[in-house]
Amino acid sequence: MKIFIGDLAHSTIILTNNHTPINIGFIAAYVKSILKDKVDIKLYKNPHKLLDDIKKDPPDILGLSNYIWCQSVSEDVFQFYKKVKEDGITVWGGPNFPVNELHKAKQYLVDRQYVDFYIPFEGETPFLNITKAVLEFGNDAKKLKSIHQNCFDGSFFISENNELIGNNIGVKIKDINSIPSPYLEGWLDSFLKQGFHPMLETRRGCPFRCSYCHTGLSYYNQGRSFSLDSIKKEIEHIVKTVSNPKKTRLEIADSNFGMWPQDLEFGKWLNTITERTGFPLNIGSSTGKGRVDLVLDTVMSHPKLRLTNSVQSLDENVLKAVNRINLPLDQLKYSQAEIDKKGKISNPEIILSLPKETRESHLSTLTKLINIGSNLICQYTLMLLPGTELYTDESREKYKYVAKYRLIPTQFGEYEGKRCFEVEEVSVGTKDLSFEEYLEMRTLFFLTSNIYSNNTYKPLINYLIYLGEDVIDFFYCLLQRRKEFGDGFPNKVIEDFINDTKGELFDSKEDLVAYYSDDSNYKDLLSGKKGINLSHTYKSVVFCNAREWGNFVTEIFREYLLEKHPNSNDVIKIGNSVISHIKAQADCQYKFFQDRKNIPTKENPIKAELDFDIPNILANRIDKVKYPSFKEEKVVYSYFMRDYAIKHITSFPEGQKRVDLALIILRMDTSYSFPIYLKEENMQEAVIAKQPV
């Protein structure tokens, strides 16, 4: 029997989900291990390829995954398949389904008659049950659903009497290690060879119960780990199979990596592989919200592991409302201090518009994270995900979300002549946060992202904190003063960001689809004028205009210091050195992106004379107790871009859109987008690493 299983990804602009489809790999490996030659299974990521193969020789069963980023394309592919093969069996599975509200679950399937079975949780056992039933009783879906209802443990379906049937939903495999590895069985080799980055699952489940997250459902509460031996073999297989291990990223899918002793052992072992092979380029993972020392040890065990330290909010009322448990503040501080010592960075996330979040509580969370010394702060808008507690009618009634719809960045395409768009529902306000406040917090985040989380401005932030100033207050000062710049870059870029933040929202999914289906609006999607990730795109815009942005921030900074410290010449003098240091870096970045004939090199750097050794003194947070004054000394610094970064950027055509180029470069190691700076006297001996390992 022929089976196609897809975990579809759009690639209209860029490949939107470039990880190996480990989810469907597990299902294929498990079903094949039991049914052996009775089944012939093929896996797909590319919707065009899948449609072509369906046309040529349609399978008996078509299974697809369902996440918010592939719902629409999967719906279209299912409908196409049913037209080609009326008696084909369709199986959909994944978290994007209102599993915890049965009236909605039923409607979801009634509205999609082309879906025969829906698997809301782990897919291995339910998919096997369906395949076995089809093998045994044939592929008459109606008959299967009426006579053999008991064969489908773990799946929902609509019966002939229009009832929602779901037996033993959430059925689990007893021993997770009885699922063969999709890597070791070769199911993912072709994807690795095509350049997909490996996704690894070392553990399923999460001990926490956050109510905005699928994994917070009780089903996932009990975790199970894959054996370390098997995980190691998977990595060895990946390294052998990919074309360039050094340029391959590793994504760890676990929800709390580092919280289990096995993770530490794995981190240490992976480090030996990295030393030997250079794999991976970097590691994506979400680190644990408990067992702080174990998580820290794990993060330290490998140079490419980062501490996420995500909090979503630090307000007690909000955390209670969403059932979230964070590390206590003192432990967050402690873990930040520990990673600072090792030169690592944290990447905490916060969610805007959570229940009970107010403007003040959100600002307070941001301030606390800044005070802890968090490195790269990310702010997300609350997504209302089907199947989560926050999606339910009860929560909507309780918190009065201002629900809107937006296109998931670049997730669209045209298949068999039909345009298709992936849409997410977001909350841009609640009864405790107005839409205007939402916009204000998004705008503030623009500054957090482009100043606080931008390494160039680290000394400026560290100096403000040293002086006891409030960073958020400084950001508000920038927001107020931007208007003085009229048509200039700083005002315009913030204005554009606000307009795009408003403009990406629609009142309904239907409105959005109608709007983007129009030819001229669709062209805007294709050209990247619309439908982009605003945070990433605007970050790139700021990098491309680093000089103008630097002038704006430092000019207001100087005046801010004058206003706050009118009687201190020293403060202003130190501030001037901070400004010179920032401007030299910003100039390097500007030339790097906009003026490739004059990119500063080690041989021809930009120089800045400073009255204080700012790069050294303000590299980290310092306080007045340990550092009552700054030693005045003239130092000359040279600023330049690394050779490999210049080689990389100049390998792209001169005519390439600068913002697109910056988007590409910013995805690389930070050494590609930030200059190096060295004291004049160290220039001769300096050996600049050829390439980051």
CA 691/CA 642 separation, integer angstroms: 9
- Measured over all CA atoms, what is the biggest interatomic distance in the chain, rounded to whole angstroms? 88
Q: To the nearest whole angstrom, how small is the minimum distance from the Cβ of residue 335 to ligand SF4? A: 16
Which member of 168, 215, 262, 277 binds ligand SF4 (CB under 6 A)?
A: 215
Q: 226 vs 557, which CB is nearer to ligand SF4?
A: 226
Query: E-assigned strands of 212-321?
Result: 224-225, 250-252, 283-284
Q: To the nearest whole angstrom, how small is the minimum distance from the Cβ of residue 314 to ligand SF4? A: 15
CA 317/CA 283 separation, integer angstroms: 33
Which member of 23, 65, 255, 456 binds ligand SF4 (CB under 6 A)?
A: 255
Contacts of 37 (CB under 8 A, 6+ apart): none
Q: To the nearest whole angstrom, how small is the minimum distance from the Cβ of residue 504 to ligand SF4? A: 24
3-state secondary structure of 685: coil
Contacts of 608 (CB under 8 A, 6+ apart): 580, 581, 583, 584, 636, 637, 639
Q: 257 vs 522, which CB is nearer to ligand SF4?
A: 257
Q: 255 vs 589, which CB is nearer to ligand SF4?
A: 255
Q: 322 vs 408, which CB is nearer to ligand SF4?
A: 322
Q: To the nearest whole angstrom, how small is the minimum distance from the Cβ of residue 350 to ligand SF4? A: 12
Binding range to ligand SF4, per CB under 6 A, among 211-219, 273-281, 521-529, 591-599:
211-219
Q: To the nearest whole angstrom, how small is the minimum distance from the Cβ of residue 311 to ligand SF4? A: 11
Closest by Cα among 70, 160, 157, 159 to 105:
157
3-state secondary structure of 371: helix
For residue 190, state whether it binds ligand SF4 (rule: CB under 6 A): no
For residue 673, state whether it binds ligand SF4 (rule: CB under 6 A): no
Which member of 24, 206, 574, 649 binds ligand SF4 (CB under 6 A)?
A: 206
* Strand pairing class (403-415; 418-427): antiparallel
For residue 311, state whether it binds ligand SF4 (rule: CB under 6 A): no
CB 482 within 8 A of CB 444: no
For residue 95, state whether it binds ligand SF4 (rule: CB under 6 A): no
Q: 78 vs 212, which CB is nearer to ligand SF4?
A: 212
CA 467/CA 575 separation, integer angstroms: 11
Angle separating helix axes 292-301 and 261-277, nearest 10 degrees: 10
- Rg over alpha carbons for the chain, rounded to the nearest Å, is 27
CB 530 within 8 A of CB 518: no
Closest by Cα among 469, 456, 670 to 583:
456
For residue 257, state whether it binds ligand SF4 (rule: CB under 6 A): no
Q: To the nearest whole angstrom, how small is the minimum distance from the Cβ of residue 210 to ligand SF4? A: 3
Size of the site for ligand SF4 (CB under 6 A): 8
Q: To the nearest whole angstrom, how small is the minimum distance from the Cβ of residue 263 to ligand SF4? A: 15
Token representation of residue 365:
């969370």
Which member of 213, 295, 300, 586 binds ligand SF4 (CB under 6 A)?
A: 213
Token representation of residue 594:
């906009």
Q: To the nearest whole angstrom, how small is the minimum distance from the Cβ of residue 80 to ligand SF4? A: 34
Binding range to ligand SF4, per CB under 6 A, among 140-148, 188-196, 213-221, 581-589:
213-221
* Strand pairing class (61-65; 199-200): unpaired
3-state secondary structure of 254: coil
Binding range to ligand SF4, per CB under 6 A, among 159-167, 207-215, 234-242, 462-470:
207-215
Q: 128 vs 259, which CB is nearer to ligand SF4?
A: 259
CB 438 within 8 A of CB 352: yes
Q: To the nearest whole angstrom, how small is the minimum distance from the Cβ of residue 517 to ligand SF4? A: 34
Q: 128 vs 206, which CB is nearer to ligand SF4?
A: 206
Helices (H), 278-356: 292-301, 316-321, 329-341
Residue the block writes with tokens 């070392």: 202
Contacts of 63 (CB under 8 A, 6+ apart): 3, 4, 5, 6, 24, 27, 90, 91, 92, 93, 127
What is 623-642 written as a DSSP string?
-TTT--SPPEEEEEEEEE--
For residue 332, state whether it binds ligand SF4 (rule: CB under 6 A): no
3-state secondary structure of 566: coil
Which member of 45, 82, 289, 304 binds ligand SF4 (CB under 6 A)?
A: 289
For residue 208, state whether it binds ligand SF4 (rule: CB under 6 A): yes
Binding range to ligand SF4, per CB under 6 A, among 205-213, 223-231, 329-337, 560-568:
205-213
Q: To the nearest whole angstrom, how small is the minimum distance from the Cβ of residue 206 to ligand SF4? A: 3
Which member of 210, 231, 318, 505 binds ligand SF4 (CB under 6 A)?
A: 210
For residue 216, state whether it binds ligand SF4 (rule: CB under 6 A): yes
Residues that bind ligand SF4 (CB under 6 A): 206, 208, 210, 213, 215-216, 255, 289
